[in-house]
Amino acid sequence: MTPANLSRKLENSATHLLHRATQCASELFAAEAGKDNLTPRQFAILVTIAEHEGVSQTGLVQRTGIDRSTLADVIRRMIGKGLIQRKRTKEDARAYAVRLSDKGWRVLENADPGATKADQRLLAGLTATERKSFLDNLEKLITSVEAKAQK
């Protein structure tokens, strides 16, 4: 294989390009919404909890796609920051239900406009039609990979 073939391979690597896009998205998020040192993953967790108050950690795994061990670590750190609270559920003493603290609500409300702006900046190079197609294709890719992983 020649060096030219290697670079073309990298340019056509979905894994590499998605990683680079994630780096860009994270940098934009930090610039626009990271005033409280909030990460995109933490933002996704806050949004999910806000939409599903009292959700279990298992429910967060299902709704966000964050793996169980990573989620448990992130939740622990968010509790330490005072962003969320958790307690054992009545239905299952082994499970935790999580909710936003008052501070968590404030951080989410402060970060939301910046997160929207970060998304807009990230997608600014695409037309409205391309944006919709891009987001639809990302969803399709995620659904396809997850479906194959469950088999």
DSSP 7-20: HHHHHT-HHHHHHH
What pairing do the DSSP bridges indicate for beta strands 96-100 and 84-88?
Answer: antiparallel
- Residue 91 pLDDT > 80, yes or no? no
- Residue 71 pLDDT > 70, yes or no? yes
Which one is predicted more confidently, 113 or 150? Answer: 113
Which helix H or strand E contains 39, and what residues bound it?
Answer: none
Task: Give the residues across from 99 on adjacent strands.
Answer: 85
- Residue 1 pLDDT > 80, yes or no? no
CB-based contacts of 64: which residues, under 8 Å, 6+ apart? 41, 44, 45, 48, 71
Would you say the C-alpha torsion 51, 73, 146, 97 has a positive or negative sign? Answer: negative
User: What pLDDT sits at residue 6?
Assistant: 66
User: What pLDDT sits at residue 12?
Assistant: 86
- Residue 67 pLDDT > 70, yes or no? yes
Residue 63 carries which DSSP code?
A: H
CATH architecture of 3-149: Orthogonal Bundle (1.10)
Residue 56 carries which DSSP code?
A: B
Q: How confident is the model at residue 146 (pLDDT cuts 50, 70, 90)?
A: confident
Determine phi and psi for 73, rounding to 5 degrees.
Answer: -65, -45
Q: What number is the average pLDDT over the span 68-81? A: 95
Domain ranges of the chain: 3-149
- Residue 2 pLDDT > 80, yes or no? no
User: What pLDDT sits at residue 70?
Assistant: 95
Most confident of 28-37, 115-124, 142-151: 115-124
- What gap in Å lies between CA 122 and CA 54, rounded to an integer? 32
- Residue 5 pLDDT > 80, yes or no? no
